[in-house]
Chains A and B, each alone.
Chain A
Amino acid sequence: MIGLNEKIISPLNRVEGDLDLKVELKGNKVVKAYPMSRLFRGIEIILKNKSPMDSLVITPRVCGICGGSHLYSTVRALDMAYKAEVPPNGVLIRNIMSLAEMGQNDVRHTYLMFLIDSVNKKYESFPFYKDMVLRWAPFYGSSYKEAVKWSKKYTEIYAIFGGQWPHGSSMVPGGVTAEPYPDDIMKAKAIIKEISSELVEKVMIGGPTEQFLSVKSMKDLNQWCEDYPNGDICKIWIYGKEMKWDKLGKGSDYLMSFGHVPLDEKYNQENPELMFKSGILNLNNFETLQLNQENFLEFVSKSYYTYSSGDIGLHPFQGETNPIPPISKDKYTFTKAFRYKLKDKLIAPEVGALSMLAVGGNDLILDLLKHLGTNVLLREIARFIRIVLINKIIEEQLEKYKFGEPTYKKPDEVKDSQGYGLIEASRGSLGHWIVIKDGKIQNYQIITPTQINMGPEDPYGNLSHMSLALVGTEVENIDNPIEVAHIVRSHDACMVCNVHFFDNKEKMVLKL
């Protein structure tokens, strides 16, 4: 059993759910990395034989921080299965809810989960350490406190249309259950405006939104930091490079995004036109490939599951969830290995805010990527950029809402059908697949961003993005392996991770 002669300690906390990460070191260098998910809750099994509409209540409970994203994926899958038409108002309200959740997540991730590691003792001798502590220290830092205060305002926007957050509702095939009145729209507009000026402009970017939107290159960003040096984005940009976060955690050569924010006038279930495009960006030549969900495969050769057909990869429509007790010798995780079949290759892409913006064609991110490649620093910068964009889009979508027009169109019931919903959740690409037979769910499969990033190796020995990002990392002080923590947390891993460190004699050495 994994962990029998190895002491399991110290969850690498501040992430959602459960993951252990076993890292083997040679000297100070990571030579192997095994992401190990240690919690199984069986949601896909529970959904079987239930009414398809029940998935709207059950899947948000997959995750407490991105339940709205699961709801959005589910509803898109049901739209397809029910051949539902969605009136423009329905699409707008869904988008607003989804982006409000993303804003909440980006703020909480950045300040409550990632930046507080800057107070780590590794950085004590840097001249800007005191400034980092004053801003980012947990519970006391000035920016930390603002983040606690303002992140929950995003959830108020969600609740205006979804009743509550977390685990809000309201999205149903055919639109949303809510029928917002002009006072709801006015309130939501005021809240997003306030977040923009009080948190985003004053604390995060340090200058006016409209001007920040014209920052399109690394050169522009450097200029921005001369003009508005007090925003956290400039602090992390400058300090981050001093701390070498730009050299840390390069992983997969491919960035993938399922795309996000359907345009309200042109909504269809199969191929909605999207504000953030879907695709796969090859970092070697900066070409973007079209994404086809038929090329998705999941393997369980290293996961605590069995397939009735052995080691071959399964597409989610054929997917199986048969857990086995976590005591196998070669298996080490409850996460399946996601792979994308690209011609004759199986690729393990990176997903997340950085991928969403890069694939979506954001100029600033693309220019930064060309200069620096993927790394921990850029993943955090991406969240600052994304939040500015999100706020702007929420404002625009609220503006477009037409009171008096329907938010919902009742679809016909179906007995036998199937559908999938692909979206971008806060942490990256998320997909749900549903197969309906005799009016009941015959199969329900979910692919989550953390699974895509942190899956195990496949039967051919290909590593997932996270393992690639960790292997080769130099850890300055084995007793304080903060570099590894940065890499994992920069992905906003949806897991409570345990990091175990092994030296080359396979002895546990770490405490985080």
Chain B
Amino acid sequence: MRTLLWLQGGACGGNSLSLLNASDPDLLLFFEQHKIKLLWHPSLSLENNIEKILNDIRNGKITLDILVFEGTIIRGPNNTGTFNLFAGKPMKDWISEISPLANYIIAVGDCASFGGIPASDPNPTQSTGLQFHKKEKGGFLGQKFRSKSGFPVINISGCPAHPTWILTTISMIVEGKLTEDLLDEYNRPKIFYSTTTQFGCPRQPYFTYKIASNELGHREGCLYFELGCRGPMTRSPCNNILWNNQSSKTRVGTPCMGCTEFDFPTFNFFKTEKNRSGLPKNLPIGMSRGSYITFSAIARGSAPQFLTKPLIKKRGDWIE
């Protein structure tokens, strides 16, 4: 039996709810198959004995295999942490005490990973992630922190994280199959964070040939050129491992917000920021300005005609 404890700091609970959406396996089956004992979860547990559990972990009566943390570490106001009191004291103090005792620590969601929305400008709660603050390694636990197994905090970023990403990561830990070289430079499992949101996006052909959707509400056209899609610079499998077994943001015409990245939220969503010569300020990961210009010129010129007009006509259509 492995023990798992789930705590929430500056959180909206979205990752917990996301977890409840898991299917194949669903949560109940997952715990059974992986012989995991859920010590406590804020919305699922019947018992209200969290303070005792925390103290038993501290005095060694309970071995904590996996600590899952959702939400930011709130340090405010004035470094007291009292904007987030939990079971008698600031949550940040519980985390300081419990973290070194856990074999593995998982930060679920962008908040726990990088600070997310609460830590965004002007960061009124002095929020930070467990081991990163935005792009900077450090966060609340510090650069050098390692949990008992020797691992740094494993980040499963996303607002929220997808249940498949969470459960797969836990299963790999439990089965002893997670090695450190499977993590990227932000300590995220590479199996989920190597590709970008564009992988599997049905609008990808439009991106390739630089055919823009200029207006929301349409199924066709790429959302990158005008509508602020961050798909080309966001590492996520959102279009490969679909949400709720059904869809993704770009599939329903909403630009990718980049919620798996350290800089989420970037603000000015729904609009592509451009520089003076009209080039998007943010280019696809690893692409130089020069090659972007060359690529665009060629792409536009070679666009197949059937893509430059609506595939299915409807009233009030926008292309042409």
- A residues sitting closer than 8 Å to B (CB atoms) are 1, 3, 7-18, 20, 38-43, 45-46, 50-51, 53-54, 56-58, 61-65, 67, 90, 108, 112-113, 116, 119, 138-139, 145, 148-149, 151-152, 155-156, 158-167, 169-170, 172, 174-179, 181, 187, 323-327, 334, 404-410, 496, 498, 511-512
Q: Contact between A148 and B267 (Cβ–Cβ < 8 Å)?
A: no
A345 to chain B, nearest CB (A): 34
Contact of B89 among A8, A116, A145, A155 (CB under 8 A): A8
Most chain B beta-carbon neighbours within 10 Å: one of A65, A159, A323, A404 = A159
Contact of B216 among A58, A172, A334 (CB under 8 A): A172
Contact of A164 among B23, B118, B121, B248 (CB under 8 A): B248
Q: Contact between A13 and B251 (Cβ–Cβ < 8 Å)?
A: no
Could you name 20 residue pairs across A and B whose Cβ atoms are closer than 8 Å?
A9-B51, A17-B12, A39-B74, A41-B125, A41-B127, A43-B117, A51-B269, A139-B28, A152-B21, A159-B246, A164-B248, A169-B249, A169-B252, A178-B217, A179-B217, A179-B218, A326-B82, A405-B315, A406-B217, A410-B215
Interface string of B88-101 (1 = CB under 8 A from A): 11000000000000
Q: Contact between B86 and A14 (Cβ–Cβ < 8 Å)?
A: no
Q: Which residue of B lies closest to A108 (CB)?
A: B20
Find chain B residues with CB under 8 A from A496 CB.
8, 42-43
B43 to chain A, nearest CB (A): 5
Q: Which residue of A lies closest to B18 (CB)?
A: A166
Contact of B118 among A41, A90, A178 (CB under 8 A): A41
What CA separation (Å) do A155 and B43 show in the bound complex? 18
Contact of B14 among A8, A167, A323 (CB under 8 A): A167
Find chain A residues with CB under 8 A from B86 CB.
11, 18, 38
Residues of chain B from 289 to 320 with CB closer than 8 A to chain A in the complex: 314-316
Q: Contact between B84 and A325 (Cβ–Cβ < 8 Å)?
A: no
Most chain A beta-carbon neighbours within 10 Å: one of B116, B217, B248 = B217
- B residues sitting closer than 8 Å to A (CB atoms) are 8, 10-18, 20-23, 26-28, 41-46, 48-51, 74, 77-78, 80, 82-89, 116-118, 120-122, 124-125, 127, 159-160, 215-219, 238, 242-254, 257, 259, 265, 267-271, 314-316
Q: Contact between B243 and A163 (Cβ–Cβ < 8 Å)?
A: yes
What CA separation (Å) do A131 and B3 show in the bound complex? 30
What CA separation (Å) do A41 and B267 show in the bound complex? 18
A411 to chain B, nearest CB (A): 11
Q: Contact between A13 and B314 (Cβ–Cβ < 8 Å)?
A: no
A1 to chain B, nearest CB (A): 8
Contact of A53 among B45, B244, B250, B269 (CB under 8 A): B269
Find chain B residues with CB under 8 A from A410 CB.
215-217
B191 to chain A, nearest CB (A): 20
Known contacts A18-B86, A38-B84, A61-B159, A181 near B16 by CB under 8 Å: no
Q: Contact between A177 and B252 (Cβ–Cβ < 8 Å)?
A: yes
Find chain B residues with CB under 8 A from A406 CB.
217, 314-316
Find chain A residues with CB under 8 A from B254 CB.
162-163, 169-170, 177-178
What CA separation (Å) do A190 and B253 show in the bound complex? 23
Q: Which residue of B lies closest to A12 (CB)?
A: B48
Find chain A residues with CB under 8 A from B16 CB.
64
Q: Contact between B88 and A9 (Cβ–Cβ < 8 Å)?
A: yes
Find chain A residues with CB under 8 A from B12 CB.
16-17, 41, 61-64, 67
Q: Contact between B160 and A167 (Cβ–Cβ < 8 Å)?
A: yes
What CA separation (Å) do A187 and B247 show in the bound complex? 12
What CA separation (Å) do A512 and B50 show in the bound complex? 10
Find chain B residues with CB under 8 A from A57 CB.
257, 265, 269
Q: Which residue of A lies closest to B264 (CB)?
A: A57
- Given A9-B88, A165-B21, A169-B257, output 12 extra A-B contacts at Cβ < 8 Å: A38-B85, A38-B86, A41-B127, A64-B11, A112-B20, A152-B21, A152-B244, A159-B247, A164-B238, A165-B243, A165-B244, A178-B217
